[in-house]
């Protein structure tokens, strides 16, 4: 089978199975399995594909036809330009989440530009560690702690620390702040925030395969924001920042929780489609 035939057949199989991004997904599988770039494909499109690669490709196509996530099939996904190992034990890194990593890096390189000593950052509910590790790589003057309740997440996060040679990252297994005994200049957090009843309405890739522990925010999706904000001041230095990812309809609720605890400089960030995606606030000395 030639590369051109491989691509067309893979795309057709995924299209017939109702896979939304059938074209993109087939390309990714070709690149990963055949180890060729898009440019190399066009140079080799009439060449014959190694038989073992053909078998692996169509085995992957069969898995994807069941709506098993592409990211879990390839076992690795990019976030902020860095590679991250993924499996069913962790939430898949999403481009929407890059907004909190980008905001954190912006704050750390401007507000904390003249900070004496290392800047301490906590990535709470870290999952793969994609946010915390990205911050650590882009801001080498930080010491980043990645924390999660899930043993699977801790295992994957440790692997991603090694994969990215993030020597300024440590990983802690903890139920929120339970095993965290220090204060930080910044806390970043992408907690579970999907209301329980909404989960079963999500795409099968999400509801059937991603860890419910990383998705379920209880009845209103706000459970973990309440818990975190209640305990936050014990772990955030004065003039320290909290950066939350939020659901698109949760900005006002999260802002109000922060106001009630006297956090200030509250800002809502929007994602590329213009939807509310993050809330940022500061613990000022005169207020909290």
Domain ranges in the chain are 3-66, 88-283
Specify whether domain 88-283 bears CATH 3.40.50.150.
Answer: yes
* pTM of the full structure: 0.93
d(CA 276, CA 122): 23
Q: What is the pLDDT of residue 286?
A: 65
d(CA 221, CA 193): 4
Strand partners, 209: none
d(CA 108, CA 71): 30
The series of mean pLDDT values per 10 residues for the chain, 288 residues long, is: 96 97 96 94 93 97 98 98 98 96 97 92 98 98 98 98 98 98 97 96 96 95 97 96 97 97 96 95 79
**Are 215 and 199 in contact, with CB atoms under 8 Å apart?**
yes
Q: What is the pLDDT of residue 285?
A: 78
**Are 11 and 22 in contact, with CB atoms under 8 Å apart?**
yes
Q: What is the pLDDT of residue 113?
A: 86
Closest CA to 69 of 86, 52, 53: 86
């Amino acid at each position: 089978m030639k590369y051109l035939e491989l691509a067309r057949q893979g795309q057709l199989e995924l299209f017939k199975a109702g896979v939304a991004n059938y074209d993109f997904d087939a390309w990714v599988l070709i690149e990963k399995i055949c180890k060729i770039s898009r440019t190399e494909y066009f140079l080799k499109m009439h060449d014959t594909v190694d038989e073992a690669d053909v078998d692996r490709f169509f085995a992957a196509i069969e898995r994807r036809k069941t709506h098993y996530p592409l990211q879990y099939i390839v076992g690795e996904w990019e976030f902020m330009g860095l590679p991250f190992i993924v499996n069913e034990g962790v939430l898949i890194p999403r481009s929407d989440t890059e907004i909190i990593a980008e905001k954190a890096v912006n704050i750390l390189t401007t507000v904390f530009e003249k900070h004496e000593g290392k800047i301490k950052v906590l990535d709470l509910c870290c999952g793969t560690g994609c946010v915390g590790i990205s911050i650590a790589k882009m801001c080498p003057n930080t010491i980043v702690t990645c924390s999660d309740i899930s043993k699977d997440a801790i295992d994957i996060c440790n692997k991603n620390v090694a994969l990215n040679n993030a020597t300024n990252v440590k990983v802690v297994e903890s139920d929120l702040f339970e095993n965290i005994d220090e204060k930080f200049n910044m806390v970043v957090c992408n907690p579970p925030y999907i209301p329980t009843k909404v989960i079963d309405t999500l795409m099968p890739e999400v509801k059937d395969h991603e860890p419910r522990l990383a998705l379920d925010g209880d009845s209103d999706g706000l459970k973990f924001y309440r818990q975190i904000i209640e305990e936050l001041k014990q772990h955030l230095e004065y003039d320290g920042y909290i950066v939350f990812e939020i659901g698109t309809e949760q900005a006002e609720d999260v802002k109000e929780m922060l106001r009630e605890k006297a956090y200030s400089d509250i800002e809502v960030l929007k994602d590329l489609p213009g939807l509310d995606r993050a809330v940022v606030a500061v613990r000022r000395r005169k207020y909290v």
